[in-house]
Amino acid sequence: MNYSLLPLHSKRIALVLCTALSALLLSFSHGEIKAWQVISWLDVVGEGGIALLTLVWLFFLFVSRPPGRVTDLLVLGLSCFMFSALLDLMDEFVRHQSGYWLSLVESIPAPIGMVLMTWALYQWHQEQLTLNQQLRRREAQSRQHHQVDWVTRLYGADYLREQLTKHLDEGVSSLSVLMLDIDNFDQFNRRYGDQEGDRLLRELSELILMNIRQTDLACRYAGDRFIVLLPETQRPQAVTLAGQILESVRHFAFKTRESGEAVFHTLSCALVSAVASDQAEALLDRLNRQLELGRGAG
């Protein structure tokens, strides 16, 4: 199991522990401990099981989800539910005198928790739809995770070559291919470090993905260079799409981790349209040359 997300939840874990502790303290401070013989062990197992399983759910939540709104709602909801479940369990061990208000405190958090969790699950569903959409854009027509680039999570150059060859062999009509290169990335790396460089690569990949269509395929071709395959796309449409990517990158304020300073970036781009006799490598060479020529001219 991967526990790498646990440290990110230290405050939430503290909240859960405080909630559990306050349920125990509240119960012990308002009653007296029952005699061993009158405890109903069947109820203890049933109610204790519910409280324990709530804690298990919380544990899996912490190891599975990064912090965020949906996570917070789920933690709050489960904590409320656990609070009621623990008070319910403590009833088996402690006889309470002030029955009415304590039973109110015991009953109310559980339904509030259920409402919060229901709302959280709806939000989770919405979040999943967005993630699925991003995944579909990353995956194009097939799923080959060994060919994914681990910095950007985009497909790498080998997968790109395979897909490009496939498109060309199938004679897909109007295939446009776009190459994008981050300007002055080396300078950025030297100033802010490689880790920030990796983060920039990831964030720009997200921006590229957000601007392409479901049928397009974005790959990391090399270092700071990306390629987007645009099937069934005439040049004017490809030019518009490229313009949208360049604009969104130009307006994107990358915040450095250390100082929060906003750093802006531009991309250089080249665009070619495939012709009937094209081979993948020749087309990629054409793209590379065009990009360098454009830079020379710029």
Phi, psi (rounded to 5 degrees) for 72:
-60, -45
Q: Which of 57, 93, 124, 185 contacts ligand GTP by CB under 6 A?
A: 185
Task: Give, for 295, the enclosing helix (H) or strand (E).
Answer: helix 280-297
The answer to the question of residue 181 lying near ligand GTP (CB under 6 A) is yes
Which residue number, 172 or 263, has a Cβ lying nearer to ligand GTP?
Answer: 263
Beta strands in the chain (DSSP E): 31-33, 94-96, 176-182, 217-222, 225-230, 254-255, 262-263, 267-273
Q: Is 206 exposed, middle or buried (0-12, 13-18, 19+ CB in 10 A)?
A: middle
The answer to the question of residue 298 lying near ligand GTP (CB under 6 A) is no
Which residue, among 30, 20, 18, has the nearest Cα to 104 in the 3D structure? Answer: 30
CA 274 to CA 287: how far, in whole Å? 11
Contact 46, 83 (CB under 8 A): no
Report residue 26 as tokens: 């509240």
The answer to the question of residue 224 lying near ligand GTP (CB under 6 A) is yes
Lay out the site mask for ligand GTP across 32-61 (x = CB under 6 A, - = otherwise): ------------------------------
CB-nearest residue to ligand GTP:
197
The answer to the question of residue 189 lying near ligand GTP (CB under 6 A) is yes
From 61-69, 103-111, 183-191, 282-290, give the range in contact with ligand GTP by CB under 6 A: 183-191
Which residue number, 96 or 225, has a Cβ lying nearer to ligand GTP?
Answer: 225
Q: What is the DSSP letter of 141?
A: T
Q: Which of 72, 139, 162, 198 contacts ligand GTP by CB under 6 A?
A: 198
Q: Which of 32, 186, 232, 285 contacts ligand GTP by CB under 6 A?
A: 186
The answer to the question of residue 182 lying near ligand GTP (CB under 6 A) is yes
CA 135 to CA 156: how far, in whole Å? 15
Beta strands in 149-285 (DSSP E): 176-182, 217-222, 225-230, 254-255, 262-263, 267-273
CA 128 to CA 146: how far, in whole Å? 23
Which residue number, 198 or 278, has a Cβ lying nearer to ligand GTP?
Answer: 198
Number of residues that bind ligand GTP (CB under 6 A): 15
The answer to the question of residue 194 lying near ligand GTP (CB under 6 A) is yes
The answer to the question of residue 183 lying near ligand GTP (CB under 6 A) is yes
Q: What is the SS3 assignment for 165?
A: helix
Which residue number, 62 or 192, has a Cβ lying nearer to ligand GTP?
Answer: 192
Q: How far is the CB of 223 from ligand GTP (least distance, A)?
A: 3
From 60-68, 110-118, 136-144, 176-184, give the range in contact with ligand GTP by CB under 6 A: 176-184
The answer to the question of residue 157 lying near ligand GTP (CB under 6 A) is no
Report in angstroms the alpha-carbon separations of 170 from 138, 179, 231, 274, 276.
21, 22, 11, 12, 10
The answer to the question of residue 258 lying near ligand GTP (CB under 6 A) is no
User: Which spans of this chain sit near ligand GTP (rule: CB under 6 A)?
Assistant: 151, 181-187, 189, 194, 197-198, 201, 223-224
